[in-house]
Structure 1
Amino acid sequence: MTDATPAVALPEPAVQRAAREAALAAWAQAGTRPPATVAYTSRGRLVVIGPGEAVAEVCRVWAATAPDLAVRAVCTEGTPPAGVHAARAGRVRVVGHLGRFALVAEPEGRDLAAELGLDGGADLVLDRQARPGVSDPLPPPGYRHLPPGDGAALADAVQALAELVGTFEKPVYTLYDPDRCARGRSGQSGCTRCLEACPTGAIADLAERVDIDPYRCQGAGACAAVCPGGAIRHESPRSEELREAIRRMLKAHREAGGVAPTLLVVAEGEAPQAEALPPHVLPLPVEEVGAVGMETWLAALAYGAGQVALALPEGAPAPVRDALRREVAVAAAILAGLGLGEERVGLLEGAAEAAALTDPVLPALAPAAYAAVEDKRTALRLAVDHLRVQVPPGEAEAVLPAHAPFGEVRVDRGRCTLCMACTSVCPTSALVAGGDTPVLRFIEANCVQCGICAGACPEQAITLRARYLYDPAACNAPRVLHEEAPFCCVVCGKPFATASVIARIRERVAGHPMFAGAAGRRLEMCEDCRVRDITREELERSAALPLEAQLRRLEG
């Protein structure tokens, strides 16, 4: 789809270049708060894993490179070299990080680090198994995998490991707020986006929440980018600081005569020189491209960028690539529904492709002036609202891919009994009970499409539909999904359920002797009246007994 708004002409290339210089100067002045840090401590205790011959080859190179550091081995086949403290295992799984690697023999689960006398685990691991002991796409610092037969790279790998001795600080890249997490509730599984996006295995699944190991996290950032409710925040830099820096950068570009540049989000180490790029391309070097989320791309468009191009770093792990592609598909659908071209946000296979970026088709849109906000869903909504009011009226909603974190909950009223199981598990207060009134309300702006409500519904009455509803008033207003007249207690008249609940209970207990005859009427009583009726019946039954039996019953 192409833009539905009138196009505007780009200024001369020289003007665009001068505007780019002004924008880059503004970017250089942007300040960010440094994140917290954790420290690795490594004593240089290397464990080599693999066949005996491969282990011996490493030991020879290690002795020449780091003669003062001992080496231990786990032999998966063959004989370990003489004089090397070694254990044996058919297959070894490696878990941990620099200074603290656990070595697990599979399938028996033996602690190989303990067998090698390594308290706290190995500091360094050189893995020469054919299949790596670390299954994560992005292995941790201190671990190298070098299959047998790849001896050419051995000297470099040994040298790199030998340099990892001492104490090293690293940033705490992410912060986690479990109160905002939609992983699960009451045994029901929900959102798994961060688990799927993490390339390092740093995120542990705890069923109803997650735990992020700051030592294993390497800051890829895709977890924060895909987190639908902002439970995970990237700290290097913080997303609101990045958006504010982009706003000021684009303002400087505009004030210098530039118009609607293409913002190139690129890894710091791969950012091309500005002079090598087309005049309309404005490079934004960041630590991790995967950490820059959809709310920031759309905010950049609202602040005056014509396009946002994301340059995938060389060797980007598959989970990060997949996460970015999914997020781009959602953003493209939102933009297409506005009548803005879906190509306004796109992926590049590396920074080299930026040199071929052509001038975008630009709309005559006024840039937003509001300051960046912290909450990611608010940031996205503000950006979309700003874009929406400047284009001709279009669709009321955009249909989104099924994995999108926006959408509605639909209720089959023929099945729903208003038991409110869904409201008790909703992690974002998108589903709201009516208190004393049997009514189920829904606030679409709060819904992250986690699916916990659908899993918790005993009647299977709930389905999800991914969409973006453009009207902010409609999105934020509670709307009724289902309501019924209350069922009132047949004794005291107090409302306590709905007719459908009572009918469903009657169906399920039909034929049960406890509810046979007059006792079935208790199903139509509130809890207090039900207790009183049972107590009355017990007293009447007791009073009908002979005096001696009554006394025995009281004594018992």
Structure 2
Amino acid sequence: MNPQIKICSCNKTLPLNATAAAQLAQAIGAEHVQVSDMLCRREVGNFLSAVDGVDDVIVGCTQERALFSELAQNSVAPIKFVNLRESAGWSAESKQSLPKMAALLAAASLPAPEPVPTVNYESQGNLLIIGSADVALPWAHRLSAQMAVSVLLSEGAAHGERLADRTFPVWFGSAIKLRGFLGHFEVSWQQSNPIDLETCTRCNACIEVCPEEAIDFSYQIDLDKCGNHRDCVKACGVIGAIDFERMAVARDTACDLVLDLSRQPLLSMSDKPQGYFSPGNDVAAQFDAVLKLSQLIGEFEKPKFFVYKEKLCAHSRSGKLGCNACLDVCSTDAISAAGDKVAVNPNLCAGCGACTTVCPTGAMSYAYMRAPDTGLHIKTMLAAYAKAGGHAPAILFHSKEAGADLIQQAGQSAQAGGRGLPARVIPMALHHTASTGIEIWLSAICYGATSVVILMTDEEAPEYRLALQKQIQISQAILSGLGYQGQHIHLLETSSSSELSSFLYALKPAQVPPPALFNVAQDKRVSMDFALDHLLRHAPEAVSEVALPGGSLYGSVAINKDACTLCMSCVGACPSSALMDNANSPQIRFIERNCVQCGLCEDTCPENAITLTPRLLLSDAAKQVRVLNEAQPFHCIRCSKPFATAQMIETMVQKLGAHSAFAGHLDRIRMCPDCRVVDMMSSADLKRPH
């Protein structure tokens, strides 16, 4: 591929000229980089000539993305836009920003990642509005001409809002439950009021006869005011809409979209499912929600953000809970327990990737972008940065929305007395900032990044912050334990461009190894092996192991040999083949590098003989088999076949000696299962009358 690269000095406010363009071309291995001063104005012809072909076109500006896209609407050439202005050139260190520009252009020159599977939605526009009559009914009247609207009232009318003609279905209910996603919501509630709105004709006879004014124009009876004289029942007559004997009736409906105007949203998760809007009492937020939901009619698709390999999952075994990390961090309730595994609803998944970040085994992996693609972007950027003469690079991970906006604000402030981004800080946009984890961060350090910063703004849920802080703690423990000086990985939480700039300018480069050559693998543990081997090879200090905080993805298992009976329950529970038996001898064997510290062995052990120690063993012993416990086999006293261990048999004698099946026959415990059955049958024959 030979992309055509167009950059612009933006009326000479960026340090870009023919000399700089030649340096950029050399750094990124491009044949030519063409520089303009007013690409979006007088020199737009340069862009038009570029999109006249079929090669990729890279435009080093996002200011006029809409204009360029419109001009190229008939072109077949793929077009990419790179923000060189706010991300690099508009900065207090603009004169040193050329290496960063090379990094950004090099990443844009990479081929597009392979497409990922998609998740499909279909919405006919059937809208359910939930809330009090005063709020829900006005919106229902506004929207009923455009959409198929139904209303579920949770409160009556406090300000005189009336149910008039039957323009749309209206129900009244309590104990409302909602689940689902765009195009497939299911709603259930309890109808317990004496008046059935589906039968009521809105004749107002009940309102006129009620002496306590317990009935309003939402046509529901306030039972706290009601005198129970039944005048309303008589007034209703043969219509039969009022029945004080009615028990709570379960009702339900389905819809494509939900506008929840309840005082407290029905769904409390941080990231709500697509098609569900809960703007609260804010009128502006209500209008914004209505605008968005009115556009959700038709067929839609989104990426399937994850890949789940249940064979690697350490969630549970035989009803014993092990790893719960993905369920705890999911902000959309897309992940649920499913026996010993977990189930992920792709329609609810918002693509945060936090589940993949906290998963210790790699059972959950991110697909948008895949880990190898993310690693290749980082490696390519840092290589181009170094080739262009840059020093002490830092990677700034940010979201494509609020994070990108904040970076743009910081760059623009540099034109009005601010400082923008430092020349050594290379921004990299992610679909979500929680989607990268320890294997990506450590790989970035191995590629030469002296700092990794994860920028979080107000758009991310609290669950992600806690998860990332824990993963950063583990990562930093590894780096510091190996003797690398400084703080390498940082979590920055701010929505202020000035705070962003101040933090980045104060950031001190940490010690890193020489750049590595390996590529990030799709398998998380394999990528970790690559990174750890490189870090260990160049470690400033010679260490054999590193202590890690609790919840780490590496560690040791210790067995109390006096308590262990070698029942092998721990071996059966281990999801990662860290614990193994020996087909030829009673042994529990262990490979430490396979251990994910899920705790299933510890929870499964009936003798409480197992303890876990989080650590990173760095010697070759980590990948070698070692025996944790073993015993000489116990031989059947009848046929001499080995079938258990001596300690197990003695434990069984102590625990089962008083059992009716063995009373007076303790030697049966010392027999193999086959001989035990033969002995029991022989005893039965002797007792049987002849």
Q: Same fold (TM over 0.5)?
A: yes
Matched, 1:26 2:106: yes
Contact in 1 for aligned 2:580/2:590 (Cα 8 Å): yes
Asked if 1:405 corresponds to 2:549, the answer is no
The one-character-per-residue Cα deviations of 1:76-128 (angstroms, maximum 9, x if unpaired) are 121563223111212422211111111122699976543xxxxxx21111111
Report the residue type matching 2:614 in the other structure: A
Following superposition of structure 1 onto structure 2, how do residues 211-360 of structure 1 map, counting pairs within 5 Å? Answer: 211-269=343-401, 270-271=403-404, 272-273=407-408, 276-341=420-485, 343-350=487-494, 352=497, 353-356=499-502, 357=504, 358-360=506-508
Which SS does the other structure have where 1:514 is aligned?
coil
Which of 598, 601, 606 aligns to 1:450? It is 598
Secondary structure of the 1:423 match is helix
Q: Which residue of 1 aligns with 2:147?
A: 69
* C-alpha distance in structure 1 between counterparts of 2:682 and 2:285, whole Å: 87
Q: Structure 1 residue 100 and structure 2 residue 184: aligned?
A: yes
Distance 1:475 1:107, change over 3 A: farther
Preserved CA contact (<8 Å) 1:289 1:313: no
1:530 aligns with 2:670: no
SS of aligned partner of 2:644:
strand
Number of the residue aligned with 1:502 = 649
Q: Whole-Å Cα distance in 2 between the matches of residues 92 and 46 of structure 1?
A: 16
Give 3-state SS (helix, strand or coil) of 2:515's partner.
Answer: coil
Of 501-510 and 392-401, deviating more is 392-401
Q: Which of 246, 270, 274 is 1:137 aligned to?
A: 270
RMSD, aligned CA? 2.3
One-letter code aligned to 2:115: P
Q: Distance in 2 between matches of 1:139 and 1:516?
A: 62
In the TM superposition, what is the alpha-carbon distance from 1:436 to its structure 2 partner? Answer: 3.0
CA contact (8 A) 1:337 1:394 kept: no
CA deviations 1:264-293 (Å, max 9, x no partner) are 011122222596310110111111111111
The answer as to whether partners of 2:372 and 2:519 remain within 8 angstroms in 1 is: no
Name the aligned partner's letter for residue 186 of structure 2: A
Q: Is the 8 A contact 1:104 1:110 kept in 2?
A: no
Question: Out of 666, 677, 688, which is 1:520 matched to?
Answer: 666
Give a deviation string over 1:382-429, Cα, whole Å, max 9, x none.
112211221233443222222222212221212110000110121111
Distance 1:126 1:299, change over 3 A: same
Rg larger in structure: 2
Equivalent-residue separation in structure 1 for 2:375 and 2:381 (angstroms)? 10
Q: CA deviation at 1:73?
A: 0.7
Residue 373 (structure 1) aligned to one of 501, 521, 524: 521
Give the equivalent residue in structure 2 for 1:90. 174
Letter in 2 for 1:529: C
Contact 2:129-2:136 at 8 Å conserved across structures: yes
CA, structure 1 residues 522+132, in 2 after alignment: closer, same or farther (shift >3 Å)?
A: same
Q: Which residue of 2 aligns with 1:81?
A: 163
Report the alpha carbon displacement of residue 534 of structure 1 after superposing the two structures with TM.
3.2
Residue 26 of structure 1 deviates from its aligned partner by: 1.3
Tell me how far apart the structure 2 counterparts of residues 322 and 89 of structure 1 sit (CA, whole Å): 38
Distance 1:359 1:127, change over 3 A: closer
Corresponding position of 1:52 = 133
What percent of counterpart residues are identical?
Answer: 36
| Residue 315 to residue 14, structure 1, CA distance change in 2 (3 Å) | closer
Q: How much does 1:529 deviate?
A: 2.7
Residues 24-56 of structure 1: per-residue CA shift (max 9 Å, x gap): 111112231121112211111111111111112
Helix, strand or coil at the partner of 1:347:
strand
Q: Work out which structure has the larger RCO, using CA pairs closer than 8 Å and 6 or more positions apart in sequence.
A: 1
Change (3 A) 1:364 1:150: closer
How far off is 1:15 after superposition?
7.8
Distance in 1, Cα, partners of 2:337 & 2:512: 47
Q: Which amino acid aligns with 1:73?
A: V
Tell me which amino acid in the other structure corresponds to 1:130: R
Instruction: Specify the alignment match of 2:297 in structure 1.
Output: 165
Instruction: Using structure 2 for the length normalisation, give the TM-score.
Output: 0.72
Deviation at 1:342, TM superposition (A): 5.8
In structure 2, the partner of 1:361 is: 509
Residue 229 of structure 1 aligns to a residue in which SS? Answer: coil
Structure 1 length as normaliser, TM-score? 0.89
